[in-house]
């Protein structure tokens, strides 16, 4: 077990990167605390697999250092780092039995058979695959295969971190939920650092204590699921998390006030100058209200999603979503919207203004 420190990691797949665009990872500088359950969330191609492979040692970063508990491991091989990884598609050794599969990492490290037997049985009972131990691994169902790949990681003592690379891709939907809660339960039992890579926000938010949101080759925000929801530090985070995602609307500063198409909007963030960058406000549909006056909008669609209704409106040329309670009357045609001030924030160049402000103060 160890604290994992990513020290100014940059990576490019080109030998001579010339601009920032050539980097798959632009700059990642961040610590993973020992024993945490992390999710690494982001759309396909955002750099999450690259980051994962750098931690596991399958890839050496072109810049920066990787430390496990202050020991540098940047150029160590995966087996020397003492880590485990579960891949998108279950990797099992077809010709071996389930037992031998689980014992394989220990045998490779020369652990004695008695000890192996204890560990294998401990893990198999944890994963509830005791009755499968003597069967050939080849014919198993995908979820059992994935359990075995996971078991091969768990069976080793003092693994520094277990990483999951979209492990539920090939699992049937009704088993996904089961396997995920199993993972969560296992984490509480073994207390090993776990990093769970996914592009599915439900998977990330239900599994992790801390979610790391990535896009464009950088980490956008690290926080608890609640923090990500309530205070997105980047418009992408707001947009990506939540259903529907945060409304992001371009604004201008006119006479010291935020103006959305000529209408004044009150925001909780300090005001800043655009300085040629884009200025936007972000407000979640949950904090958009129907009111008597305010911002004129046209209702285009209503979707009933059970507990509440999602209202789709047009403000100027922008789509704005609002969440209504079930019992609330649904307006038709033209109406007015207002945004809750404490939950309406200003973003400059995609980033939350409070942040830059905080940094400036510091």
What is the Cα–Cα distance from 197 to 41, expressed in whole angstroms?
Answer: 6
Toward another protein, which CB reaches closer, 85 or 201? 85
What is the Cα–Cα distance from 183 to 177, expressed in whole angstroms?
Answer: 10
**Shortest Å, Cβ 79 to another protein:** 4
Toward another protein, which CB reaches closer, 162 or 220? 162
**Shortest Å, Cβ 142 to another protein:** 14
Please give the distance of CA 283 from its chain centroid, rounded to a whole number: 21
**Shortest Å, Cβ 52 to another protein:** 11
Residue choice 1, 56, 209, 210 for contact with another protein (CB under 8 A)? 56
Residue choice 21, 60, 72, 94 for contact with another protein (CB under 8 A)? 94
Bridge pairing between strands 210-215 and 288-291: unpaired
Bridge pairing between strands 210-215 and 318-325: unpaired
**Shortest Å, Cβ 86 to another protein:** 9
**Ramachandran angles phi, psi of 49, nearest 5°:** -70, -35
By CB under 8 A, is residue 61 in contact with another protein? no
What is the Cα–Cα distance from 29 to 47, expressed in whole angstroms?
Answer: 14
Q: At what angle do helices 142-154 and 173-190 cross, to 10 degrees?
A: 10
What is the Cα–Cα distance from 99 to 105, expressed in whole angstroms?
Answer: 11
**Shortest Å, Cβ 253 to another protein:** 51
Number of residues that bind another protein (CB under 8 A): 25
Per CB under 8 A, which of residues 64..93 are in contact with another protein?
77-79, 83-85, 87-89, 91, 93
Structural contact between residues 165 and 85, judged by C-beta atoms closer than 8 angstroms:
yes
- The two three-digit tokens of residue 98, written as one number: 């389930």
- List interacting residues with another protein (CB under 8 A): 56, 58, 77-79, 83-85, 87-89, 91, 93-96, 104-105, 108-109, 136, 138-139, 149, 152
């Amino acid at each position: 077990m160890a604290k994992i420190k990513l020290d100014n990691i940059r990576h490019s797949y080109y030998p001579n990167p010339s601009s920032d665009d050539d980097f798959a990872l632009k700059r990642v500088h961040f610590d993973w605390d020992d024993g945490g359950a992390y999710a690494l969330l982001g759309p396909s191609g955002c750099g999450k697999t690259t980051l994962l492979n750098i931690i596991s040692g399958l890839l050496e970063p072109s810049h920066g250092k990787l430390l496990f508990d202050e020991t540098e491991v940047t150029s160590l091989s995966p087996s020397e780092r003492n880590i485990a990884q579960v891949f998108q598609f279950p990797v099992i050794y077809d010709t071996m039995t389930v037992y031998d599969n689980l014992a394989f990492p220990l045998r490779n490290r020369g652990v004695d058979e008695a000890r192996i037997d204890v560990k294998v049985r401990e893990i198999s009972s944890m994963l509830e695959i005791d009755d499968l131990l003597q069967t050939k691994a080849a014919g198993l169902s995908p979820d059992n295969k994935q359990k075995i790949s996971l078991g091969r990681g768990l069976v080793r003592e003092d693994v520094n971190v277990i990483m999951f690379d979209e492990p539920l891709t090939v699992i049937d939907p009704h088993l996904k939920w089961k396997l995920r809660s199993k993972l969560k339960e296992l984490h509480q039992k073994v207390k090993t650092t776990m990093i769970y890579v996914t592009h599915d926000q439900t998977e990330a938010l239900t599994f992790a204590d801390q979610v790391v949101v990535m896009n464009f080759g950088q980490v956008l925000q690290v926080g608890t699921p609640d923090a990500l929801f309530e205070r997105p530090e980047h418009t992408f985070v707001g947009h990506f998390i939540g259903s529907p995602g945060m409304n992001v609307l371009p604004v201008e500063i006119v006479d010291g006030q935020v103006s959305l198409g000529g209408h004044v909007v009150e925001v909780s963030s300090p005001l800043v100058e655009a300085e040629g960058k884009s200025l936007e406000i972000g407000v979640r549909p949950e904090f958009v209200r129907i009111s008597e006056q305010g911002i004129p909008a046209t209702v285009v669609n209503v979707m009933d999603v059970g507990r509440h209704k999602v209202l789709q409106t047009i403000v100027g040329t922008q789509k704005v979503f609002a969440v209504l309670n079930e019992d609330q009357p649904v307006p038709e045609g033209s109406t007015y919207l207002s945004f809750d001030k404490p939950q309406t924030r200003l973003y400059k160049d995609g980033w939350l203004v409070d942040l830059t402000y905080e940094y400036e103060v510091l």
